């Protein structure tokens, strides 16, 4: 078993959600965090006013620290890669812990494989 295989088996629920959220587009920490922490609440929804819904905090929401740590873990494992706003490439080879605060990230082929493996085992 290689290092990548060992890492894929270590995904927790936050890691899975981070990878899933970054699977279709580049995302920054703020968007991932909000996407994982807020849920649509239709309680006050009125069909005649599409903006009548609101977002509320999900009861199972991870903390910002947990999301940032998960993103760093996924970058270090080669499952997320991206660029900072100044064009610097961010991958496990160039990982700087501050990059998660400055970058936009998307799932890699390795991350897709890990997510598929996790989904298949559930």
Task: Give the other-Cβ count within 10 Å of 116's Cβ.
Answer: 11
- Asked whether the predicted pLDDT for residue 6 surpasses 80, the reply is no
Task: Work out the average pLDDT over 106-117.
Answer: 94
**Residue 5, pLDDT score:** 36
pLDDT reported for residue 2: 33
Mention the CATH class of domain 3-120.
mainly alpha
- Cα(73)–Cα(66) distance, rounded to whole angstroms? 10
Helix and strand numbers (H, E) in the chain are 6, 6
- Domain range list for the chain: 3-120
- What's the pLDDT tens digit per position in 9-55? 579 999 999 999 999 999 999 999 999 998 877 777 777 877 666 77
User: Which of 25, 9, 17 is CA-nearest to residue 67?
Assistant: 17
């Amino acid at each position: 078993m290689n290092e990548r295989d060992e890492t894929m088996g270590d995904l927790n629920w936050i890691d899975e959600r981070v990878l899933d959220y970054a699977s279709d587009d580049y995302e920054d920490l703020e968007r991932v965090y909000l996407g994982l922490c807020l849920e649509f609440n239709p309680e006050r929804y009125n069909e005649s006013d599409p903006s009548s819904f609101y977002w509320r905090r999900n009861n199972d929401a991870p903390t910002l620290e947990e999301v940032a740590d998960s993103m760093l873990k996924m970058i270090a494992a080669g499952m997320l890669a991206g660029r900072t706003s100044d064009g610097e490439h961010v991958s496990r080879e160039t990982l700087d812990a501050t990059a998660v605060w400055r970058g936009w990230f998307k799932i890699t082929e390795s991350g897709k494989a890990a997510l598929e493996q996790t989904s298949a085992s559930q």
